[in-house]
Amino acid sequence: MPSRSAAEKWLAELTNLPTASGHEDAVVDWVQRWVGRRPDLRLVRDSGGNILITQKGRKIRHPVVAVAHMDHPAFVAISSDGREVSFEFRGGVNPEYFEAARVRFQRADAVGRVRSYDPGEQTGIIEMAKPGLVDEGDIGMWVFRSQRARKGRFLAPACDDLAGAAAALAALDNARGRSGLRHFGVLLTRAEEMGFVGAIHAAKTATLDKESRVISIETSRASATAPIGAGPVIRIGDAITVFDAELTNRIARAVASQGLIHQRKLMDGGGCEATAFGVFGYRATGLCLALGNWHNRGNLDEFEAGTGQPVPKMEEISLDDYHGLIDLLLVAAAAADQPDDLVARFDILYEETRSVLE
């Protein structure tokens, strides 16, 4: 069982790695090393480069798989003459955030400033502060103003969705060898920020057994009704679909019966991979963390209200929510096969009260 400090160490390491849709190599390398230290786990990569991690040994239950994505909105260098870098931005961020924004290409440790940006094509030019060694495919991330984490909070460049990946791996580390949890695994997908491409590939090519129950793990935009620090969220749907009702209800009842702090919300600020798997016939639901500065968009609420300036910021989550998500995942994996007693409960209610209809 990982300690709280170990789970936070993995969180810090993963969320500070450079990553972008189609360029998730640093995350893949980290995960391969992590799995390599655990001989009872098996790692395979499907034909789209998604990573499936399962426990070795015989299973007597259909898989429950936590799905999280390895990419985050970022600049990807297309070409460079040393002084100027042509880039493609992969992910969804309002164009106002690009105006004269500073960008660091981490491999070359080179900083520049956005000179132009075409929001339709999501391409532009970065003028480097001094000639650098930026190569095609290098990843650039915003240069953030200094931020100090509030008590109990965690700040990082890429919580979405590497905090979800860290929580899924911590839950898997906890589940290893435990009776009733040998069927629990993790799928880490690619290119979610460009339209769930990795998840769609995994669903269409049956990377997961069709009997698998899918739990999409996300970090989703916090709101007044789904605030940071009020517990991890059982997500009943997203901006596109409502998730599998029976699976969601089983998890919600199991979590409530154990008294775990949590929220139960629609979280319709965007779509997530539960929808992608559900479309292709999988039973899928979602869990998430409420996220501040979603996609590094600081002051987003004020900006949308016309009262603030767009400023790139590090993303923010609650550490208690993060640890709560790990616990919630383990309860969800165990609850996926629990019998549904709602019919029996409603039958009893009907027998006790049907006389009022006479």
Residue 235 falls inside a structural domain: yes
- CATH number where 240 lies: 3.40.630.10
> 127 and 108 in one domain?
yes
Alpha-helix runs per DSSP H in the chain: 4-15, 25-36, 159-175, 197-204, 245-257, 273-279, 300-304, 319-335, 342-353
pLDDT given for residue 161 in this prediction: 95
pLDDT given for residue 345 in this prediction: 85
> 267 and 213 in one domain?
yes
- CATH number where 90 lies: 2.40.10
Instruction: Tell me the average pLDDT across 188-199.
Output: 97
Least Cα distance to 284 among 69, 70, 67 occurs for: 67
pLDDT band at 117 (very low <50, low <70, confident <90, very high): very high
Least Cα distance to 77 among 68, 66, 88 occurs for: 88
pLDDT given for residue 131 in this prediction: 82
- 250: exposed, middle or buried (C-beta count within 10 Å: 0-12, 13-18, 19+)? buried
> 79 and 107 in one domain?
yes
Beta strands in the chain (DSSP E): 41-45, 51-55, 64-69, 74-80, 84-90, 102-105, 110-118, 123-128, 139-142, 153-156, 184-189, 213-221, 233-235, 263-265, 283-291, 297-298, 311-312, 315-318
pLDDT given for residue 308 in this prediction: 87
Residue with tokens 């069982």: 1
Model confidence pLDDT, tens digit, residues 145-157: 888 999 999 999 9
What is the C-alpha to C-alpha distance for residues 198 and 204, in angstroms, rounded to an integer? 10
pLDDT given for residue 342 in this prediction: 80
Residue 16 falls inside a structural domain: yes
* Residue that terminates a domain, selected from 111, 126, 142: 142
Model confidence pLDDT, tens digit, residues 45-97: 999 999 999 999 988 899 999 999 999 999 999 999 989 999 999 999 999 99
> 218 and 101 in one domain?
no
Using the predicted structure, report yes or no on whether residue 167 has a pLDDT greater than 80. yes
> 117 and 201 in one domain?
no
Residue 342 falls inside a structural domain: no
pLDDT given for residue 343 in this prediction: 82
- Domain of 35, in residue numbers: 4-72+148-335
Using the predicted structure, report yes or no on whether residue 2 has a pLDDT greater than 90. no
Residue 316 falls inside a structural domain: yes
Using the predicted structure, report yes or no on whether residue 310 has a pLDDT greater than 90. yes
Residue 136 CB neighbours (<10 A): 11
What is the C-alpha to C-alpha distance for residues 242 and 119, in angstroms, rounded to an integer? 30
The torsion angle over the Cα atoms of residues 29, 218, 51 and 214, rounded to 10 degrees, is 160
Q: The tokens of 74 are what?
A: 């970022």
Residue 124 falls inside a structural domain: yes
Omega within 30 of 0 (cis) for the link into 161: yes
Using the predicted structure, report yes or no on whether residue 339 has a pLDDT greater than 80. no
> 153 and 138 in one domain?
no
> 173 and 52 in one domain?
yes
pLDDT given for residue 332 in this prediction: 96
DSSP code of residue 194: G
Residue 353 falls inside a structural domain: no
> 304 and 193 in one domain?
yes
CA 251-283-166 angle, 5° bins: 65
Query: Parallel, antiparallel, or unpaired: how do β-strands 213-221 and 283-291 relate?
Result: parallel
pLDDT given for residue 49 in this prediction: 98
Instruction: Tell me the average pLDDT across 123-141.
Output: 93
Query: Parallel, antiparallel, or unpaired: how do β-strands 102-105 and 315-318 relate?
Result: unpaired
Using the predicted structure, report yes or no on whether residue 340 has a pLDDT greater than 90. no
What is the C-alpha to C-alpha distance for residues 199 and 207, in angstroms, rounded to an integer? 9
> 193 and 67 in one domain?
yes
* Residue that terminates a domain, selected from 89, 124, 142: 142
> 295 and 194 in one domain?
yes
pLDDT given for residue 177 in this prediction: 85
Residue 199 falls inside a structural domain: yes
Residue 340 falls inside a structural domain: no
* Residue that terminates a domain, selected from 107, 123, 142: 142
> 232 and 290 in one domain?
yes
**Phi, psi torsion values for 306, nearest 5 degrees:** 80, 20
Mean pLDDT score of the chain, rounded to an integer?
A: 95
> 244 and 109 in one domain?
no
Q: How many domains does the chain have?
A: 2
4-15 helix and 319-335 helix, angle to the nearest 10 degrees: 110
Partnered with residue 303 across adjacent β-strands are none
Query: Parallel, antiparallel, or unpaired: how do β-strands 233-235 and 263-265 relate?
Result: parallel
pLDDT given for residue 344 in this prediction: 83
Model confidence pLDDT, tens digit, residues 223-274: 999 999 999 999 999 999 999 999 999 999 999 999 999 999 999 988 999 9
